């Protein structure tokens, strides 16, 4: 099976209860809200989302910005079906989705270019070759356009310490391997985690202006530590979240579970 068929098959399976799991996870909701706020900081007339999943963000932005042209892609047929089913509920007719990966963009949406390209929650951790994928994205960006890209980060030090304390060192250092394997303990997803220095190097080699890197879940427990979240009082979780937001852009931000990058194509 080809690489993207494997990734698509993994997420086809994941799609069945993806939305249900998301709505039960307040940590994921909080992080997504922060990603959305970041996108909304600057105006855009047309946008592309890569890895739309069931369409949470594509539909959200299409609803609040009905005059914006919104395109979305995903390698998973089932995810595309879930997102497509939500499009008729929109007032605008400016939203379209297609099945495929970043490298297929010119075929899927020929002659289109965007003010904004965003990726939330992991689709760029499952590309065959990140420099090639980023070059494909850069090619679809208008001069002066912006990319808000999020990645599963390589150096999640809090998680490494926590897994060592739980006496699970094999879990602690999985992100440092060339092939990571994904979050699931039972299903393997050929994927890779990236350090901020790698993203910076690729971005600058493409003449993208590297404007900002922000870390998530540095002190605030990662979204997949459900049990830990349930044990910590909401007030403390909120304080940890606030602390994270304060240190997110500094050197400690490079050690978060997740990382957001704000890049601009030079005019
Ligand atoms: C963890 S899910 C996140 C979905 C959605 N962005 C969200 O925040 O809920 C990752 C999604 O990216 C898609 N994906 C993975 N690799 C991709 C690629 N190379 N190109 C396009 N979509 C991809 C998967 O099929 C999956 O739907």
Report which of residues 50 and 170 the model is more confident about: 50
149 lines ligand 1 (CB under 6 A): no
Residue in 169, 89, 156, 160 with CA at minimum distance from that of residue 125: 156
pTM over 0.95: yes
| Measured distance CA(27)–CA(221) in Å, rounded | 8
CATH, residue 199: 3.40.50.150
Ligand 1 centroid to Cα of residue 74, in Å, is: 6
Run of H or E including 260: strand 258-265
Q: What is the pLDDT, as a whole number, of residue 68?
A: 97
Question: In which domain, by residue range, is 220 found?
Answer: 3-154+192-265
- The pLDDT tens digits for 98-138 are 999 999 999 999 999 999 999 999 899 999 999 999 999 99
Q: Which of 2, 33, 53, 193 to mutate to test the pocket of ligand 1 (most atoms within 8 A of CB)?
A: 53
Atom of ligand 1 nearest to the CA of 49: 6
Residue 186 lies in a domain: no
Helix 130-139, helix 196-205: angle, nearest 10: 50
Q: Which of 57, 75, 129 to mutate to test the pocket of ligand 1 (most atoms within 8 A of CB)?
A: 75
User: pLDDT over 90 for what percent of the chain?
Assistant: 96
136 lines ligand 1 (CB under 6 A): no
Residue 93 lies in a domain: yes
Ligand 1 centroid to Cα of residue 212, in Å, is: 23
Q: What is the pLDDT, as a whole number, of residue 185?
A: 87
Q: What is the pLDDT, as a whole number, of residue 18?
A: 98
What is the distance, to the nearest Å, from the Cα of residue 47 to the centroid of all Cα atoms in its chain? 15
- The pLDDT tens digits for 140-186 are 999 999 999 999 999 999 999 999 999 998 889 999 999 999 999 89
Residue 1 clears pLDDT 80, i.e. is over it? no
Residue 77 lies in a domain: yes
Nearest CA to ligand 1 atom 25: 76
Region 67-78 average pLDDT? 98
| Measured distance CA(47)–CA(33) in Å, rounded | 18
Ligand 1 centroid to Cα of residue 171, in Å, is: 23
Residue 172 lies in a domain: no
């Amino acid at each position: 099976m080809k690489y993207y068929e494997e990734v698509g098959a993994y997420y086809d399976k994941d799609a069945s209860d993806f939305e249900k799991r998301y709505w039960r996870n307040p940590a994921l909701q909080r992080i997504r809200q922060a990603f959305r706020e970041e996108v909304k900081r600057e105006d855009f007339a047309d946008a592309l989302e890569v890895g739309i999943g069931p369409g949470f963000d594509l539909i959200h932005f299409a609803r609040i910005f009905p005059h914006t042209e919104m395109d979305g892609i995903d390698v998973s047929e089932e995810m595309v079906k879930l997102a497509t089913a939500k499009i008729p509920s929109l007032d605008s007719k400016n939203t379209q989705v297609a099945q495929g990966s970043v490298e297929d963009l010119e075929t899927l949406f020929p002659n289109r270019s965007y003010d904004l390209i965003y990726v939330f929650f992991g689709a760029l951790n499952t590309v065959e070759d990140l420099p090639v994928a980023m070059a494909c994205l850069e090619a679809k960006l208008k001069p002066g356009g912006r990319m808000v890209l999020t990645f599963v980060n390589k150096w999640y030090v809090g998680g490494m310490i926590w897994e060592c304390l739980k006496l699970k060192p094999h879990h602690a250092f999985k992100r440092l391997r060339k092939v990571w394997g994904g979050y699931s303990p039972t299903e393997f997803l050929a994927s890779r985690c990236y350090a901020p220095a790698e993203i910076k190097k690729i971005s600058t080699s493409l003449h993208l202006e590297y404007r900002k890197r922000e870390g998530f879940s540095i002190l605030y427990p990662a979204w997949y530590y459900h049990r830990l979240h349930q044990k910590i009082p909401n007030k403390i979780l909120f304080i940890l979240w606030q602390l994270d937001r304060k240190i997110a852009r500094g050197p400690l931000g490079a050690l978060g579970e997740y990382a957001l990058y704000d890049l601009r194509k030079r005019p």
